[in-house]
Amino acid sequence: MAIYEWPIGERPREKLQERGASALTDAELLAILIGSGTRGRSAVEMAREVLQSFGSLRGFMRSERKERAEHLGPLALMRLEAGLELGRREHLDELRSGPGLGSPANVGAFLIAQLRDRRYEVFCCLHLNAQHRFVAFEELFRGTIDGAHVHVREVARQVMHHNSAAVILAHNHPSRVPEPSAADIETTRVLMSGLELFDVRVLDHVVVGDGVCVSFAERGLL
């Protein structure tokens, strides 16, 4: 049955208008982004099939982009990616206008949201001013499933560009296990020594896993 034949109160767009986005299921939200179904399948049915195939919305987003496009089509996938990026940017705007990032728990929650679902290792830098307020968040290096090469010169260049007084380093482990490696510890030591020349403090290095993270500061590794 086509969605326009459903009772008005069950149609995703009407539900969104009347009750807000939080009232919709994952499939209904995804259906709105899909836009329209195909012959014999409504957008909601397509969305349910996607979620069933991948286990969850998160499982779908962790899959290869080509595979996602095959299930949704390129236009719907672009809508979904644009919506997710808007959410990330809204979060960044909130950080810029909010209080300082002095709490490892707050930093960890932000970094988990940014990095937990990456399929490859990404090394990032969270730039802060003298009051430890958020300035910028940048992805500096992208690697493979088991590592990313980090260059002090590039980190220093970005620090100078943002006039950072302090930084929080971060990277993810695609293995989903956030335990720091010997290489992680050595990289942190080298970066701390290099940035010290620019009078920039490394406040922490956070390793992100699957919903959890490890703070070097809390471990006493800095």
Are both 116 and 206 inside the same structural domain?
yes
Helix axes 65-72, 43-54, angle to 10 degrees: 150
Whether 71 and 114 map to the same domain: the answer is: no
Last residue of a domain, one of 61, 89, 117: 89
Share in percent of the chain as helix, strand, coil (round to 5): 55, 15, 30
Among 89, 120, 149, where does a domain finish?
89
Residue 196 lies in a domain: yes
The answer to whether residues 197 and 106 belong to one domain is yes
| Full domain range(s) for residue 195 | 99-219
pTM metric for this prediction? 0.67
Calculate what percentage of the chain has a pLDDT beyond 70.
90
Give the DSSP letter of residue 22: G
Whether 122 and 186 share a structural domain = yes
Give 104-160 pLDDT, tens digit per residue: 677 888 888 888 878 788 999 999 999 888 888 898 888 754 556 788 889 999 999
Give residue 184's pLDDT band: very low, low, confident or very high (50, 70, 90). very high
| 121 lies in the same domain as 41 | no
Residue 159, C-beta contacts closer than 8 angstroms, at least 6 positions apart = 125, 127, 167, 195, 198, 200
d(CA 148, CA 96): 28
* The last residue of a domain, from among 89, 123, 144: 89
Which residue is it, tokens 């810029």? 96
Q: In what order do the strands lie in the sheet with 213-215?
A: 134-142, 122-128, 166-172, 201-208, 213-215
Whose tokens are 């012959």? That residue is 39
- 215 within 8 A of 188, measured Cβ to Cβ: no
- C-alpha distances (whole Å) from 81 to each of 85, 110, 116, 203 are 6, 19, 16, 32
- Let me know whether 202 and 157 are in one domain: yes
* Nearest in space to 65 (alpha carbons), one of 112, 117, 111, 142: 117
Flag whether pLDDT at 36 surpasses 80. no
Unique residue bearing structure tokens 């490859």: 120
Q: Is residue 51 part of a domain?
A: yes
Quick one: pLDDT band at residue 33, thresholds 50, 70, 90?
confident
| Residue 23 maps to a domain | yes
